[in-house]
Structure formats: structure tokens, C-alpha cells
Chains A and B, each alone.
Chain A
């Protein structure tokens, strides 16, 4: 009875806190400008199924993809077991599904156990890749400090969680074989779970009945506490991607990657110059605050969702020609900076009611001109991202601000602009010489 109350309190508090934080994230994302990504839902569902659910792009690198798949599959399938844990927790029952599901229950839990072992292997391998092997993309500068702690924390938590599962199942197996488990006795000798029916007796065979019950409870409570800690940790972590990857991929850019947006605010001015009688459509008469992006609020909600979804895996940076050749630019850092600044803006709003100027901005305080000008707009980062994040669109929007609002393009580029303006070519050649090649 008392345990049911504690359980229900824990679940309510855990859920409420998560919803509270998730709402803040949603509010932050919606600080972004509108962009229409609601068209073509059939196509979007298909891409979401392939890329988010099916992890299609992960398999460009088979080894980490496989290890990640272990964790991912274990994560997804454990949700089924959680349903039972919820019911058991609330009604003080024990393995309530077992009598109903019979041998299917054994198969299900066995499957979960096998995936948990694979996830354990995956986790150890990930820890090693990050901390011992120092895979280049996992030890770059932008990961120093919190991002590194974040990555390792979750891996350790994963190990604790898996240990809890085997404490819970292993001890219960031993108890059941002694006829002492709280689970309904179905007159069989063992639960027959794939791993813990073997591991249980080895680890816990010599323990007293009392100790076994304690171990089982520690495992059970540890499991659910880890799950709720994880849930509430998500909004502060790159691991938010376990939830956000799905909407993020659903709202992917469906246009060819080479197609950049045409700024409508610019079109209105240009059309007005060419045709003085031009009147922009009413929807677009609202003047934009500025051309391009200086601040996170100048970006679109999709770009901000991208930032919250980023897994910090560095596949983008690893394929970036600028980064490969030692330039300051790292597309992953662009995404991390965007999220950090957005969080800062969000906290500012929480404290002050509305945003109060803090003298900072995404451009300048987080992302520098030097980084932005190193981009070749090659789309390698966009192609590499396993969850269809588009760092290039942010880079482009910030270049637009630098050029059109600050007039601070590199000198050579200003020369190029002047040439195009005056002679219709980026170099100093006269337009009247354009056909000379045909007779040379």
C-alpha cells in the first residue's frame, strides 16, 4: 500500500516535471520564424519511417550503427516491460502479465534480456570509443566540458539501468525456483528467462530469501527511478534526440539540398524596384525586423528544432571539408551554439517575462564571422546527419545578415558583388565580351 503511494507520487512528480520542461522547450522552439513544413505528409511519414525509425542514414558507418541499434532496440522494447512495471507499481501486484501471457511472457522478457546484454556491450564500446580510443569526431574541442560529461553520464546511467534489470530478474528467478517469489506460482520450476535463469543462480544463488527480496526490490525501484531520471534529464541533454528525432525528421526539408530559400522580404523590395506599381501580398506586408539571422529568434522553428534534436555525434563535422582542413568551422558547433543560445534566451524570458536585451547574440558571442565564411556550402554536413539536420541553412542565414545588414563581407567578396552589379559577372570582364570565346 505504502509502496503504491510512493510509486504514484514518484510517477506523478516525474511526469509533471518533464511536461513542465518540455513545454518550455516547445515555447523556445516556437520563438522561431514560421516555415511551412506541413505539406506532403505521405512523403514525410515515409522519410520518418526510414530515417528516424529505421535509422537508414546511420548505416553509412556500420559499426557505430550496429552498436547504436542495440541501445535503440533495447530502449524501445523495454517500454513494453515498463507497462507492467506501472501496473505492478500502482496496484502492488507482481509480474501481473505473466499469468495472462504465459509462454509469450517468457519470450518477451527473454528478448528484452538479450537486447539488454547487447546494449551493455554497446555501452561499453561507446565508452571506450569516446574515452580510450578517442575517435576523432568524439573528442573535438566543442565537446569539452558539459557535452563530454553529458555523453558519459548517460552511458553510465545505461549501465546502472541494465544492472538493475538483471538484479530484478536474476534475484526473482532464484526466489521463484525456491517457491518464494511474489509472482503467481504457475507450478513451473523457473521463469525460464533467457539470461537471468542462468545468471541469477550464479550471482545470487547463495543469498538468503530476505536478501534476495531486497536485491529484487532494489533492481525494480532502481529501474523505474532510472527511467524517470532519464526522462527528466532529456531536456538538458543531447539525448533529447530519442524523442525529437522523430518530429525533426518528419519536418525535414524535402527540396533538393542545393535549393536555398528565396527571401520573400527581399523579393518584395526587388519587385518594387523593377515595377513601382508592385504591391506585395497582404500576408507579406509585415516588415521583417532584419534580413538574415543575427539571433536565434531570426531563425525558423525548424532550425531551432534541429538544434534541440542534435545528437552531437559529429558526423557532420567529420565530413565537413572546412573542418577536415583545419578551419574553425564545425557544423556540429553551429548546432550546439544555436541550442545554447536558445536556452539562454529561454531562461532570460523565464526570469524577465519577455526577452530583456542582454547585449549578446548568436552571431558574435557564439558563432564568429570566421567560422561562417569558411563554409563551401557543399551540403556534406546535411547529407551526413543521421536525423536530417541542416546546419548549412543556419550558416546561410547568418551570412545574409553579415552581408545585407552589417555590410561586413570579406573584401574580396565585396569586389565580386560589385563586378556582378556592374558587368554581370563575378570578375572584371565586360558583358559585351561574353561571346568572344566563340570566335577566339
Chain B
């Protein structure tokens, strides 16, 4: 396996060069063991497509999204100030994120606080790369496999992006099955609104169990996701039903990287 080629904005600046795009890795993508694999898959795809991208590395900080959803607007705006000064300092124009929550807040909530960038989610970037012919997807590994996609709330309902992940996956030659609650009617995995960071309120079921149950009813080989938090939730759900041997929870980026044997 080739080593990952990852350069920071600082590296580019030192070389006097400007990257095409900034890859906003996000906290989960940087620190969560499972999510780091997704981050690497995204990087492999970017390397494979010869995209000149940069990361902020140790200059990146939380977007403030979890604080904002929890109601801590102060902390959110403090984070925005810090991040915007770094991003604007590097004159960043275009950002791709590995997480729908980073995507949503950078795209929608940063502009009125001084951060104006073109922001896309990694499934949209893959769609762009496909359309421009910079990557091809060989279906091989997933031919005939049954895949169901779980829409992340902040990509789907939050920003009306439903087609990008599906259009990318269509190239896998797999059997794409839709859950009854999909796209605008998709059910949350249970992690949003800062629920990821606290115990759920008292109820009679966990949300991720409800959602995983729905996905498993389709007898899929793979539950595809586009968010590191959904990934955790659905993975836990699959384990709850003792299905981890037969059903994999994979990010769309991982599917594409794997299909291309990256």
C-alpha cells in the first residue's frame, strides 16, 4: 500500500503553492479510531485522483457544531472566530468535509460570521471527481451486494443533498435497496443534536436500535453511511443484533476506496 500523501496548509504556504481544496477532517475524523479509517479512505481517493488538497492539521479546531446544537452559542461563536481567522488567513476558497455536521455549519452558519467558502460534503466531491473523469469506480468487489444507504440528517433534510451519495454508489454495480424511511423521510441515527455526547433521555428504545432494525429488515450486506456519528450508531446497532459478521457498516468513501483497491 502506498503511503498517504497529506500536506498541511502551512506546508503549501511554505512552498508558495495553493491547493485546490481544503479537506476539513473534523474531530471525529481526527480522533475516533473508526472515523480515522474513513478519513484515510477519503485521502486515498484524493491521492488517487491527484487532487491537490491540504489539511489544517494541528491548526484545525472543532467547528463548534456540537456546542451550537446543545445551545451553547457563545462557545460556538468563539470557535467560529478562531477557525475563520485561520481559514481566512490562508485565503481558503473551497472546503470538503468528512462529516455532514462540519459541512452544514461551515456552509450555512459561518458566512454571516465572516467565513465565506464553497463547502461540499465528501460524497459531493466524489460525485464531482466522477463526473469530471478524475476517478473511475470499478464495481468488482461489490457486484451484486445489497447496500442500503442511511441518510445523514444534516446532509439530507438539513441541506437537501440526497442524490450525491446515491449517484456515487450506483457505479458499484451493487443492489441499492432503500429503507422505507429514506431521503427526506429518513430516520435519524440518534447521534445528532449533541446526543452523541450524552446519555439518551428515558424511553423504551434506543434510536439507533430502531434505525438499525429497519436497515437489517432489508437483509443488506452493507449499511452505507456518510457521517462518522451515524457510523458509530449503526455499528453499535448491528452489534446489538449480533450481525457484525454478516453486515458491515461502511462510509461511502470506504466503499469507493475499496472498490478501487486503494
What is the minimal beta-carbon distance from A314 to any residue of chain B, in angstroms? 16
Q: Does A433 contact B (CB under 8 A)?
A: yes
Contact A266-B77, Cβ < 8 Å, known A379-B153, A437-B40: yes
Q: Does B113 contact A (CB under 8 A)?
A: yes
Q: Which of A266, A267, A380, A424 contacts B157 (CB 8 A)?
A: A380
Q: Does B239 contact A (CB under 8 A)?
A: no
Contact A259-B104, Cβ < 8 Å, known A324-B210, A409-B71, A416-B66: yes
Write out the residue numbers on chain A whose beta carbons fall within 8 Å of the beta carbon of B79: 420, 424
B75 touches A420 (CB 8 A): yes
A380 touches B199 (CB 8 A): no
Write out the residue numbers on chain A whose beta carbons fall within 8 Å of the beta carbon of B203: 322, 325-327, 374
CA distance A258 to B62 in the complex (A): 18
B75 touches A421 (CB 8 A): yes
What is the minimal beta-carbon distance from B12 to any residue of chain A, in angstroms? 14
Determine, out of A106-114, A239-247, A396-404, the stretch whose residues face the partner at the interface: A396-404
Q: Does B61 contact A (CB under 8 A)?
A: yes
A258 touches B73 (CB 8 A): no
Write out the residue numbers on chain B whose beta carbons fall within 8 Å of the beta carbon of A378: 153, 157, 187-188, 192-193
What is the minimal beta-carbon distance from A261 to any residue of chain B, in angstroms? 9
CA distance A434 to B56 in the complex (A): 9
User: In residues 347-366 of chain A, which contact B (Cβ within 8 Å)?
Assistant: none
> Per DSSP, are chain A's interface residues mostly helix, strand or loop, or mixed?
helix
User: What are the interface flags for A239-272 relative to B under an 8 Å C-beta threshold, 1 for contact and 0 otherwise?
Assistant: 0000000000000000111111011001101110
A400 touches B71 (CB 8 A): yes
CA distance A46 to B79 in the complex (A): 38
CA distance A377 to B107 in the complex (A): 17
User: In residues 256-300 of chain A, which contact B (Cβ within 8 Å)?
Assistant: 256-260, 262-263, 266-267, 269-271, 273-274, 291-292
Q: Does A319 contact B (CB under 8 A)?
A: yes
B39 touches A377 (CB 8 A): no
What is the minimal beta-carbon distance from A409 to any residue of chain B, in angstroms? 6
Find the residue from A328, A370, A380, A432 having the highest chain B CB count within 10 A.
Answer: A380
Write out the residue numbers on chain B whose beta carbons fall within 8 Å of the beta carbon of A434: 25, 30-31, 57-58, 60
CA distance A156 to B262 in the complex (A): 67
B70 touches A403 (CB 8 A): yes
A255 touches B108 (CB 8 A): yes
Contact A325-B210, Cβ < 8 Å, known A262-B112, A431-B61: yes
User: What are the interface flags for B59-80 relative to A under an 8 Å C-beta threshold, 1 for contact and 0 otherwise?
Assistant: 0111010111111111101110
Q: Does A383 contact B (CB under 8 A)?
A: yes
Q: Which of B70, B112, B187 contacts A321 (CB 8 A)?
A: B187
Instruction: List the B residue with the shortest CB-CB distance to A371.
Output: B201
What is the minimal beta-carbon distance from A406 to any residue of chain B, in angstroms? 10
Q: Which of B57, B157, B192 contacts A435 (CB 8 A)?
A: B57
Q: Does B194 contact A (CB under 8 A)?
A: yes
CA distance A370 to B201 in the complex (A): 7
Write out the residue numbers on chain A whose beta carbons fall within 8 Å of the beta carbon of B159: 256-258
What is the minimal beta-carbon distance from B10 to any residue of chain A, in angstroms? 11
B109 touches A260 (CB 8 A): yes
B202 touches A438 (CB 8 A): no
Write out the residue numbers on chain A whose beta carbons fall within 8 Å of the beta carbon of B77: 262-263, 266-267, 270
Q: Does B218 contact A (CB under 8 A)?
A: no
B195 touches A376 (CB 8 A): yes
User: What are the interface flags for A387-403 relative to B under an 8 Å C-beta threshold, 1 for contact and 0 otherwise?
Assistant: 00000000010111111
What is the minimal beta-carbon distance from B84 to any residue of chain A, in angstroms? 10
A267 touches B113 (CB 8 A): yes
Write out the residue numbers on chain B whose beta carbons fall within 8 Å of the beta carbon of A400: 71-73
B157 touches A426 (CB 8 A): no
What is the minimal beta-carbon distance from B72 to any residue of chain A, in angstroms? 5
Q: Does B36 contact A (CB under 8 A)?
A: yes
CA distance A256 to B64 in the complex (A): 19
User: In residues 414-432 of chain A, which contact B (Cβ within 8 Å)?
Assistant: 415-417, 420-421, 424-427, 429, 431-432
Q: Does A167 contact B (CB under 8 A)?
A: no
Q: Does B177 contact A (CB under 8 A)?
A: no
User: In residues 123-162 of chain A, which contact B (Cβ within 8 Å)?
Assistant: none
Q: Does A36 contact B (CB under 8 A)?
A: no
User: In residues 311-340 of chain A, which contact B (Cβ within 8 Å)?
Assistant: 319, 321-322, 324-329
Q: Does B253 contact A (CB under 8 A)?
A: no
What is the minimal beta-carbon distance from A329 to any residue of chain B, in angstroms? 7
What is the minimal beta-carbon distance from B98 to any residue of chain A, in angstroms? 11
B31 touches A433 (CB 8 A): yes
CA distance A374 to B207 in the complex (A): 11
Q: Does B51 contact A (CB under 8 A)?
A: no
Given A267-B77, A426-B196, 5 new contacts (CB under 8 A): A262-B109, A325-B203, A327-B201, A417-B70, A432-B58
Name A residues whose Cβ lies closer than 8 Å to a Cβ of B.
60, 255-260, 262-263, 266-267, 269-271, 273-274, 291-292, 319, 321-322, 324-329, 370, 373-380, 382-383, 396, 398-404, 409-410, 412-413, 415-417, 420-421, 424-427, 429, 431-438, 440
Supply 24 A–B pairs (Cβ within 8 Å), ascending by A: A256-B107, A256-B158, A257-B157, A258-B104, A258-B153, A258-B157, A262-B109, A266-B73, A269-B74, A322-B203, A325-B205, A327-B201, A374-B201, A376-B192, A376-B207, A379-B158, A417-B70, A420-B75, A420-B79, A425-B31, A426-B66, A434-B58, A437-B25, A438-B55
Q: Which 8 A/B pairs are nearest by Cβ-Cβ distance?
A: A258-B158, A399-B71, A377-B193, A424-B61, A326-B204, A326-B203, A259-B108, A378-B188
